[in-house]
Amino acid sequence: MKILTVDIGTGTQDIFLYDSNLDLENGFKLVLPSPTMMVHRRLKQSLHSRIPILLTGHQMGGGPSAWAIEEYARARIPVYMTASAATTINDELEKVEGLGIKIVGEEEGKKLQVTSYELRDFDFELISKTFNDYGVLLDDLSAIAVAVFDHGNAPAGVSDRQFRFDYLDERIKAKNSLSAFAYLSTDVPKIMTRLQSVVDSAGELPCPLVVMDTAPAAVLGAGFDPIVAQRKQKIICNVGNFHTLAFRLGEKGIEGVFEHHTGEIGLPKLEGLIYKLADGSLKHEDVFNDMGHGALMYSDDVFEFGKDEFDVVVTGPRRSMFNRKSSIENRKSLRPYFAVPFGDMMIAGCFGLLAATGEIQPGLGEAVRRSLRGEGGRGVAPWDGI
């Protein structure tokens, strides 16, 4: 049984091909530029030509791609976008047009004398070709799982940050588990437009598709580090390129969570939030009023530091922030443990995707759980005739 997992972040897209016949450490993996960075680089390289551009396709991760598109518009080079692609910049299309970008229909776009780019987060054909070039075929998959970060489509006048945290609260109350943020492609909530765009852009696939939010996937995956797995109660912090999120986890599930923008915080502020998450005093406004997303607490119990060899579990591409020295109100810095599930921090999100897929696809669950426990695999795939 094989499952393709793709964790799409701001800087990289991390890809892991799970094979139930192999030890997880022997699964094939790729760490490649993220789709939003690919669009950014292509547009930056062609900016000097001043050729008008048309952007079609679907909503995808913003950040670098949106910055490059806006730079084109500021340079007074004609920029055209279809409505679905334009939501990459803003769900309110009048705000996109306010940047000097013209929204066009599909048929009108075909008549333009422009350079065209298709926007999408997940490109199964390209990933398949990459594997195929190395002699690995993806024609026998049991599932595909993709993670992206989704603010959701907030109504006009409603903060994207508040909207996302209302959604997180609803999901945690409905199912107090990190896998609550994973869906079969047929079950994605309409408000989660980027997750839905992954489904829409995937096209015809050879197997079921699961989509999930990136941060819970990374935290879930980090929990499979053998040291972390021994702890019944823990705080796991994912320091991403754009967003930093920490979950406080206990035997009954999620006890608290906060999410901030990585660029808005340094280590002292981050440690201060983690201390409040631990003692139960963290409030939503502590993060939201500081231009972060927010915080939720589901337990008044105190999580005590100092009882074990580390205080906080850390993962994510910006985890080196915890290598710096910091003191908060004369307290020592938190002692971090850098999780390495199955020997690889960069694909922690892929392991989280794998676990969530096994949970919501019952027919795959037994094999996935066995692999995640380190049972039943082998070192390398056998060669024909040997």
Q: Delimit the domains of the chain by residue range.
A: 1-225+341-365, 227-339
Q: What is the mean pLDDT of the chain?
A: 93
Query: What is the mean pLDDT of the segment spanning 113-142?
Result: 96
SS3 of 203, please?
A: coil
- Contact yes or no for 80/112 (Cβ under 8 A): yes
Q: How far apart are CA 217 and CA 45, in angstroms?
A: 33
Give the pLDDT band of residue 311 (cuts 50, 70, 90). Answer: very high
Is 17 or 379 the better-scoring residue by pLDDT?
17
Q: Are 302 and 275 in contact (CB under 8 A)?
A: no
pLDDT at 41: 96
pLDDT on residue 327: 58
What pLDDT, on a 0 to 100 scale, did the predictor assign at position 381? 53
pLDDT band (50, 70, 90) for residue 370: very high
Cα separation, 277 vs 254, whole angstroms? 12
Helix (H, G, I), strand (E, B) or coil at 370: helix
Residue 193's closest CA among 123, 298, 92?
92
Decide: 254 and 23 in contact? Cβ < 8 Å: no
Question: What's the pLDDT score for residue 384?
Answer: 41
pLDDT over threshold 60, residue 285: yes
pLDDT value of residue 306 = 78
Count Cα neighbours of 313 within 13 Å in the Cβ-side half-sphere: 27
Portion of the chain with pLDDT greater than 90, in percent: 88
Higher pLDDT among residues 339 and 329, named by residue: 339
Q: pTM score, two decimals?
A: 0.94
Residue-level pLDDT at 323 = 87
What pLDDT was estimated at residue 42? 94
| pLDDT tens track for 317-326 | 999 999 876 6
According to the model, what pLDDT value does residue 272 have?
94
- Beta carbons of 15 and 45 less than 8 angstroms apart: no
Distance between CA atoms of residues 99 and 118, nearest Å = 20
Torsion sign across C-alpha atoms 121, 124, 129, 130: positive
Tokens of 132: 């195929």
CA atoms 295, 240, 354, 188: torsion sign: positive
Q: Read off the pLDDT of residues 156-214 as tens digits, 9 standing for 90 and up.
A: 889 999 999 999 999 999 999 999 999 999 999 999 999 999 999 998 999 999 999 99
What are the tens digits of pLDDT across the range 195-205? 999 999 998 99
For the residues 65-74, what does the mean pLDDT come to?
96
Q: Residues 97-121: what's their mean pLDDT?
A: 95
- Among 37-41, 118-122, 376-380, where is mean pLDDT lowest? 376-380
Residue carrying structure tokens 């595909």 = 144
Cβ-contact 75, 101 below 8 angstroms? no
Structure tokens of 126? 């390209």
Looking at beta carbons, which pairs linking 283-291 to residues 24 or more positions away fall under 8 Å? 284/165, 286/258, 287/258, 287/259, 287/260, 288/161, 288/162, 288/165, 290/260, 290/264, 291/261, 291/264
The confidence score (pLDDT) of residue 178 equals: 97
Strand partners, 14: 7, 31
Residues 317-353 as b or e (16 or more Cβ within 10 Å = b): bbbebbeeebebeeeeebebbbbbbbebbbbbbbbbb
pLDDT band at 23 (very low <50, low <70, confident <90, very high): very high
* Alpha-carbon 111 to chain mean position: 36
Confidence of residue 56 (pLDDT cuts 50, 70, 90): very high
CATH number of 227-339: 3.30.420.40
The total number of residues shown for the chain amounts to 386
